[in-house]
C-alpha cells in the first residue's frame, strides 16, 4: 500500500492540499495498533510517526505537549520519571508485526480508548487540554489551550477525541497529567457468578473508599489473565496510610462474597496491566467486541449474550465496560444479539475491536445511529472534510 511520511505540520498541510486537488483519500496512521478497528479502508496511508517529539513538559504545571506521532510508550516513560502519569491508563495493543505498543499520541486521541482507571479518572478525552491539527480542508488550526480550566469557544480539542482520523489530522496534543499514586493495592474474590460479581462491584462504588478500578473476569478456558475460576478485583490507589484504611472498608464489604485475597503493589499492578490490555488478548478464529453499558447491567447483558457461547467475557469499569470474545464464524459475529442486549440494558454501544476484514466490511463495527444523529455527524464531517479525503468510511455511514 502507498504510504506518505510527512515530518512536519507544514508537510501534512501540503499533502492534504494536494490530496484535495487530486481527489485522493488518505488514512492517517500511527503505529498501526488500531488498524484492525473500524471498517477496513484501502486508502493510502498518511504515516504520522515522523511527527514525533515532546514539545513541552512542565511537571509542576501538570501539563505535557507532544507531537501527535510520538509513541505513547515514550510519553508514559517520560512522565514516570517525574512520578507522573496519563491517569486514564492507555492500553497496550498488538502491532501489525506482532509486537506490543500503546500506539501514538494521535491514535490514542483519535480512538479515545481508555484503561481501567477510566472509572475514576475519566477517559482520554477528559485529559485533553488542547490540540493542533490540519482539517480535511488542508487548513492548520489549534483548539483549546494548555490550562485545565478553559471554556474559550467550543471545546473542539476534546470534540476531536474518538473521531478516528475522519475530521482532522492531529499534529500536536496537550494533556493534563497527574501525580502517580504513592502505592496501590488490590482486593480479590474468586468464584463469583456474574450477578454476584456486579453486586460486589456496584456495592464497592457505594463506599467512601475511592475505588479506582473495579473488574470481573469470568472463567475461561484460555488466554491470560483469564483463569479456570472467575475473579472479581477492586483496586485502591493513593497515599500508603489512606490505601490501608480504605482497604479495610472494602475488605469488610467483600467478606460476605467469599475469602478476600490481598494483592500488594507489584502483584496489583500486574493484575491491572492484564485488564488494561484485554484488547490484545485472543486467538485466531476469535472476534472481539468492546461494549459500553450502564455499569449495573453487566450481568444482565452477559446473560442475554450467553447464547453466543462467548469464548471469554470480562467486565471492567465496575461493569460499565464489557469485553466479549466470540467465534468469528458466527454469521454477524453476534452483532444483532449484542445490540439487542444493550437495548435491554438501557442503552450503550458496541464496537468491534477485532474481526476479519470481510466481517468488518459487512457488520456495523461502530454502533449504528438514529437518523437525526447520523445526519448531524455527517454534517460535521462535511464541514471539516468536505472533499472526503480523511479516512472516508472508516466509521461507517457518511463518516
Say how far apart CA 307 and CA 69 lie, in whole Å. 42
Q: Which is nearer to another protein, 103 or 393 (CB)?
A: 393
Stretch that binds another protein, among 95-103, 187-195, 217-225, 341-349 (CB under 8 A): 341-349
| Least distance (Å) between residue 89 CB and another protein | 14
Say how far apart CA 264 and CA 251 lie, in whole Å. 14
| Cell output for 258 | 467469599
| Least distance (Å) between residue 158 CB and another protein | 4
Binding map of another protein across residues 60-99, x = CB under 8 A, - = no contact: xxxx-------------------x----------------
Contacting another protein within 96-135 (CB under 8 A): 112, 114, 118-119, 122-123, 125-126, 135
- 53, 96, 99, 346: residue in contact with another protein (rule CB under 8 A): 346
335-361-101-225 Cα dihedral, nearest 10 degrees: 30
Work out whether 300 is an interface residue with another protein (CB under 8 A): no
Contacting another protein within 256-285 (CB under 8 A): none
Say how far apart CA 120 and CA 112 lie, in whole Å. 16
| Least distance (Å) between residue 175 CB and another protein | 14
Stretch that binds another protein, among 28-36, 216-224, 240-248, 355-363 (CB under 8 A): 240-248
Say how far apart CA 328 and CA 310 lie, in whole Å. 11
Give me the count of residues in the chain.
399
Give the burial class of 129: count Cβ atoms within 10 A of its Cβ; 0-12 exposed, 13-18 middle, 19 or more buried.
buried
- 39, 117, 137, 276: residue in contact with another protein (rule CB under 8 A): 137
Say how far apart CA 135 and CA 13 lie, in whole Å. 9
Work out whether 145 is an interface residue with another protein (CB under 8 A): yes
| Least distance (Å) between residue 120 CB and another protein | 9
Q: Which is nearer to another protein, 124 or 189 (CB)?
A: 124
Work out whether 339 is an interface residue with another protein (CB under 8 A): no
Alpha helices in the chain (DSSP H): 9-22, 72-80, 105-111, 118-121, 156-159, 194-205, 240-254, 265-276, 298-304, 335-344, 357-362, 371-384
Amino acid at each position: 500500500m502507498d504510504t506518505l511520511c510527512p515530518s512536519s505540520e507544514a508537510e501534512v498541510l501540503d499533502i492534504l492540499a494536494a490530496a484535495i486537488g487530486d481527489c485522493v483519500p488518505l488514512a492517517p496512521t500511527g503505529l498501526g495498533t488500531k488498524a484492525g478497528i473500524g471498517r477496513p479502508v484501502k486508502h493510502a496511508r498518511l504515516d504520522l510517526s515522523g511527527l514525533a517529539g515532546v514539545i513541552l513538559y512542565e511537571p509542576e504545571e501538570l501539563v505535557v505537549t507532544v507531537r501527535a506521532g510520538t509513541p505513547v510508550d515514550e510519553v508514559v516513560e517520560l512522565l514516570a520519571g517525574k512520578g507522573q502519569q496519563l491517569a486514564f491508563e492507555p492500553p497496550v495493543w498488538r502491532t501489525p508485526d506482532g509486537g506490543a505498543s500503546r500506539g501514538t499520541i494521535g491514535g490514542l486521541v483519535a480512538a479515545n480508548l481508555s484503561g481501567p482507571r477510566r472509572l475514576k479518572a475519566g477517559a482520554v478525552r477528559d485529559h485533553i487540554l488542547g490540540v493542533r491539527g490540519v482539517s480535511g480542508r488542508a487548513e492548520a488550526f489549534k483548539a483549546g489551550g494548555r490550562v485545565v480550566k478553559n471554556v474559550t469557544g467550543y471545546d473542539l480539542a476534546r470534540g476531536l477525541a474518538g473521531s478516528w482520523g475522519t475530521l482532522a489530522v492531529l499534529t500536536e496534543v496537550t494533556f493534563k497529567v497527574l501525580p502517580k499514586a504513592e502505592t496501590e493495592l488490590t482486593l480479590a474474590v474468586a468464584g463469583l457468578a456474574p450477578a454476584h460479581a456486579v453486586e460486589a462491584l456496584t456495592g464497592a462504588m457505594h463506599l467512601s473508599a475511592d475505588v479506582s478500578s473495579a473488574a470481573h473476569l469470568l472463567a475461561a478456558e484460555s488466554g491470560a489473565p483469564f483463569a479456570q475460576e472467575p475473579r472479581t478485583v477492586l483496586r485502591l490507589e493513593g497515599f500508603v496510610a489512606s490505601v490501608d484504611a480504605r482497604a479495610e472498608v472494602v475488605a469488610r464489604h467483600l467478606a460476605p462474597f467469599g475469602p478476600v485475597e490481598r494483592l500488594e503493589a507489584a502483584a496489583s499492578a500486574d493484575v491491572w496491566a492484564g485488564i488494561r490490555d484485554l484488547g490484545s488478548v485472543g486467538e485466531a478464529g476469535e472476534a472481539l467486541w468492546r461494549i459500553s453499558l450502564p455499569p449495573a447491567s453487566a450481568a444482565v447483558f452477559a446473560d442475554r449474550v450467553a447464547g453466543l457461547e462467548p469464548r471469554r467475557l470480562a467486565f471492567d469499569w465496575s461493569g460499565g465496560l464489557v469485553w466479549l470474545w466470540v467465534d468469528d464464524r458466527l454469521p454477524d459475529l453476534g452483532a444483532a444479539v449484542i445490540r439487542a442486549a444493550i437495548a435491554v440494558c438501557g442503552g450503550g454501544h458496541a464496537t468491534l475491536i477485532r474481526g476479519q476484514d470481510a466481517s468488518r466490511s459487512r457488520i456495523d463495527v461502530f454502533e449504528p445511529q438514529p437518523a437525526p444523529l447520523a445526519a448531524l455527524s455527517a454534517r460535521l464531517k462535511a464541514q471539516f472534510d468536505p472533499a472526503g479525503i480523511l479516512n472516508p468510511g472508516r466509521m461507517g455511514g457518511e463518516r
